[in-house]
């Protein structure tokens, strides 16, 4: 291990709940390389994303800001691309992680999914750029790619494509005589959306063909999922209703479950190949390796399959917002530790900057806290709260409570939700309307108000009449609340 700045490999996958890995206790899934990575590093059991959709979480990862600060409240819909300004980059106005690392001497690369605007050219301080042309996809095969300005179609499985491109990048830039690198490797898997019936099998498909899927709960559909499907049909008749209707079938669709799990093994393969290349180049001990996801995904938990916004109102249950998080580096104290501390995406941003010795120009705008002391095994208290938001729902989670607060100036009579995580860790018994817990609701509401007073930009604060960038999944709600003139901005 050298004395120079460490390389940084940030592996950021798409739609993966933390529970879908062997090292998190799932005995039905095959993730040997990730399990080995966890055994050499530090695994966080209570890491959470700020939003349950990909674009907001990617923006928060690169800026350290909450959705109500950067303005992206749901996925940037490719169908809206015709309305985007030329060269649209949804976080162009912010100081980003790759820009700060580049200023500190890092060679920066994005290989994978971008989904924060047009991907035709490098954005946000990245020098090396291999990206999916669009944020969404119908298949892992035949994906349109842009490789440093050259468009082409990747015939192979896109996880394999991004792995190959990452290995090629490391062959050129992972040398002891090269500048340190920051590689943002953003796999578009395991994904877990409604499967394509014609999706080809891959090398791990047969391994899961007969899996009983005991690790996925079987329970009845929750009313909030049905309400959301019907609400979309009524309020958004031009949107593809058939796709949302299939969400009701997913929690008991064994084919979908097995396909989802098999894609996780494809990711594990890719991670193993990239780590092997770092070992071959002699720089693995000089590289901080981080594995995490943009957001979680409910795979039947609480009676729905999908994102937290796939219910009405949206939710912040653990299954939709708990993300895997592993940090691995030789300097960390006691490898193989599992920590219970509450951490989040904006904390990852702050921790990477701290680790690399970078300073923010405006640190007061970032809510995240570096957890480098936790990684080094130092004693001391770390903050016991995490905040999340999903358009009409805001939440605070502590080691004791989960409180979901809903905007109230609507015609829908949204109810708050409060769960005692000590006596009800599965988040089933809503106490918010129980008078005995009025003081708890009031105190947690006050903490939410204080947080979003500090970390919301009025332009993008939906709860105070602000807009969203590009699109909302609930545009009808905000027009009803703030008037017909309400509209997305850029």
Q: What is the CATH number of domain 7-383?
A: 3.40.720.10
Mean pLDDT across the chain: 95
Of residues 256, 255, 230, the one with CA closest to residue 244: 230
Distances (CA, A) of 450 to 200, 388, 389, 413, 441: 50, 14, 14, 24, 14
% of the chain exceeding 70 in pLDDT: 99
Query: What residues contact residue 263 under an 8 Å CB cut-off, 6+ apart?
Result: 140, 159, 189, 190, 191, 192, 204
Q: Which structure tokens are listed for 172? A: 């050129």
Q: What is the mean pLDDT of residues 170-197?
A: 90
**pLDDT the model gives residue 478:** 98
Q: Compare 242 and 256 and report the one with higher pLDDT.
A: 256
What is the C-alpha to C-alpha distance for residues 362 and 69, in angstroms, rounded to an integer?
Answer: 13
What is the C-alpha to C-alpha distance for residues 328 and 343, in angstroms, rounded to an integer?
Answer: 16
Tokens 């009409």 found at: 392
Q: Which structure tokens are listed for 311? A: 């219910």
Residue 144: CB atoms within 10 A of its CB come to: 13
Residue 211: CB atoms within 10 A of its CB come to: 16
Q: What's the pLDDT tens digit per position in 377-414? A: 987 789 999 999 999 999 999 999 999 999 999 999 99
Q: What is the mean pLDDT of residues 108-126?
A: 97
Q: What is the mean pLDDT of residues 107-136?
A: 97
Residue 194 has pLDDT above 60, yes or no: no
Which segment, 3-12, 154-163, 212-221, is predicted with the most confidence on average? 154-163
Q: What is the mean pLDDT of residues 438-449?
A: 98
One DSSP character per residue, 356-389 reads: HT---S-GGG------HHHHTT--S-----EEEE
Q: What's the pLDDT tens digit per position in 338-355? A: 999 999 999 999 999 999
Give the relative orientation of helices 158-173 and 254-280 as an angle to the nearest 10 degrees: 10
**pLDDT the model gives residue 76:** 97
**pLDDT the model gives residue 409:** 93
Burial of 200 (0-12, 13-18, 19+ CB in 10 A): exposed
What is the C-alpha to C-alpha distance for residues 251 and 304, in angstroms, rounded to an integer?
Answer: 6
What is the C-alpha to C-alpha distance for residues 150 and 197, in angstroms, rounded to an integer?
Answer: 30
What is the C-alpha to C-alpha distance for residues 397 and 387, in angstroms, rounded to an integer?
Answer: 7
Q: Give the residues across from 10 on adjacent strands.
A: 184, 290
Q: Which structure tokens are listed for 475? A: 């545009």
Q: What is the mean pLDDT of residues 101-121?
A: 97
Quick check: 161 and 139 in contact, CB under 8 A? Answer: no
Q: What is the mean pLDDT of residues 218-233?
A: 92
The pLDDT-based confidence of 195 (bands split at 50, 70, 90) is low
Of residues 39, 74, 27, the one with CA closest to residue 291: 39
240-244, 247-251, 374-378: least confidently modelled range: 240-244
The pLDDT-based confidence of 219 (bands split at 50, 70, 90) is confident
**pLDDT the model gives residue 3:** 60
Of residues 20, 29, 37, the one with CA closest to residue 272: 37
Q: What is the mean pLDDT of residues 162-179?
A: 96
β-pairing verdict for 325-328 and 107-112: unpaired
Tokens 């109500």 found at: 68
Q: Compare 291 and 176 and report the one with higher pLDDT.
A: 291
**pLDDT the model gives residue 388:** 98
Q: What's the pLDDT tens digit per position in 45-58? A: 999 999 999 999 99
**pLDDT the model gives residue 413:** 94
**pLDDT the model gives residue 181:** 98
Report which secondary-structure segment, H or E, holds 109.
strand 107-112
Residue 2 has pLDDT above 60, yes or no: no
Tokens 């500190």 found at: 104
What is the C-alpha to C-alpha distance for residues 130 and 464, in angstroms, rounded to an integer?
Answer: 38
Query: What residues contact residue 47 under an 8 Å CB cut-off, 6+ apart?
Result: 18, 292, 322, 323, 324, 325, 343, 344
Q: What is the mean pLDDT of residues 62-82?
A: 96
What is the C-alpha to C-alpha distance for residues 233 and 312, in angstroms, rounded to an integer?
Answer: 13
Q: Which structure tokens are listed for 66? A: 């909450």
What is the C-alpha to C-alpha distance for residues 359 and 366, in angstroms, rounded to an integer?
Answer: 12
Quick check: 345 and 60 in contact, CB under 8 A? Answer: yes
Q: Which structure tokens are listed for 222? A: 């929750």
Torsion angles phi and psi, residue 394, rounded to 5: -125, 150
Q: What is the mean pLDDT of residues 234-262?
A: 84
Query: What residues contact residue 296 under an 8 Å CB cut-off, 6+ apart?
Result: 15, 16, 17, 18, 49, 52, 318, 319, 320, 321, 322, 323
What is the C-alpha to C-alpha distance for residues 12 and 415, in angstroms, rounded to an integer?
Answer: 34
Distances (CA, A) of 106 to 147, 151, 201, 309: 20, 26, 39, 37
Q: What is the mean pLDDT of residues 118-141?
A: 95
Domain ranges of the chain: 7-383
**pLDDT the model gives residue 291:** 98
Residue 326 has pLDDT above 80, yes or no: yes
Residue 196 has pLDDT above 90, yes or no: no
3-state SS class at 176: coil
Tokens 């095994």 found at: 377
In this prediction the pTM is: 0.97
The pLDDT-based confidence of 1 (bands split at 50, 70, 90) is very low
% of the chain exceeding 90 in pLDDT: 87
**pLDDT the model gives residue 333:** 79
Residue 341: CB atoms within 10 A of its CB come to: 17
């Amino acid at each position: 291990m050298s004395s120079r700045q460490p390389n940084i490999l940030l592996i950021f996958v798409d739609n993966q709940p933390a529970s879908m890995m062997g090292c998190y206790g799932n005995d039905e899934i095959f993730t040997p390389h990730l399990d080995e990575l966890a055994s050499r590093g530090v695994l966080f059991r209570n890491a959470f994303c700020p939003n349950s959709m990909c674009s907001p979480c990617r923006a928060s990862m690169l800026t350290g800001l909450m959705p109500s600060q950067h303005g992206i409240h749901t996925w940037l819909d490719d169908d809206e691309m015709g309305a985007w300004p030329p060269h649209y980059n949804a976080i162009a106005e912010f100081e980003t992680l790759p820009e700060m690392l580049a200023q500190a001497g890092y060679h920066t690369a994005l290989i994978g999914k971008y989904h924060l605007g047009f991907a035709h050219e490098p954005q946000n301080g990245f020098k090396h750029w291999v990206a999916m042309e669009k944020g969404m996809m119908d298949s892992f095969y035949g994906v349109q790619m842009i490789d440093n300005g050259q468009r082409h179609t990747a015939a192979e499985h896109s996880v394999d494509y991004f792995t190959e491109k990452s290995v090629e990048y490391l062959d050129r830039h992972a040398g002891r005589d090269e500048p340190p690198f920051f590689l943002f490797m953003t796999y578009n898997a395991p994904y877990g959306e409604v499967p394509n019936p014609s999706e080809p099998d891959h090398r791990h498909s047969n391994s899961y063909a007969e899996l009983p899927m005991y690790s996925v709960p079987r329970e009845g559909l929750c009313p909030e999922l049905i309400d959301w499907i019907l609400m979309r049909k009524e309020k958004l008749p031009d949107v593809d209703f058939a796709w949302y209707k299939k969400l009701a079938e997913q929690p008991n669709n064994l084919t979908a479950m097995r396909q989802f799990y098999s894609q996780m093994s494809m990711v594990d393969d890719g991670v193993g190949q990239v780590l092997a290349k770092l070992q071959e180049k002699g720089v693995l001990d000089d590289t901080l390796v981080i594995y995490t996801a943009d957001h979680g995904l409910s795979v039947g938990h609480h009676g729905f399959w999908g994102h937290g916004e796939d219910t009405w109102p949206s939710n912040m249950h653990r299954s939709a917002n708990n993300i895997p998080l592993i940090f691995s580096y030789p300097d960390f104290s006691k490898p193989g530790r599992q920590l219970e501390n509450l951490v989040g995406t904006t904390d990852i941003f702050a921790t990477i900057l701290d680790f690399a010795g970078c300073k923010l120009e405006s640190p007061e705008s970032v809510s995240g806290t570096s957890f480098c002391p936790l990684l080094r095994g130092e004693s001391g208290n770390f903050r016991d709260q995490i905040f999340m938001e999903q358009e009409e729902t805001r939440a605070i989670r502590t080691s004791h409570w989960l409180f979901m607060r809903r905007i109230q100036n609507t015609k829908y009579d949204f109810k708050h939700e409060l769960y005692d995580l000590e006596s009800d860790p599965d988040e089933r018994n809503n106490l918010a309307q129980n008078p005995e817990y009025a003081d708890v609701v009031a105190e947690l509401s006050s903490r939410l108000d204080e947080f979003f007073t500090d970390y919301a930009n009025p332009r993008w604060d939906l709860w105070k009449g602000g807009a969203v960038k590009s699109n909302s999944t609930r545009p009808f709600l905000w027009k009803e609340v703030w008037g017909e003139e309400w509209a997305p901005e850029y």
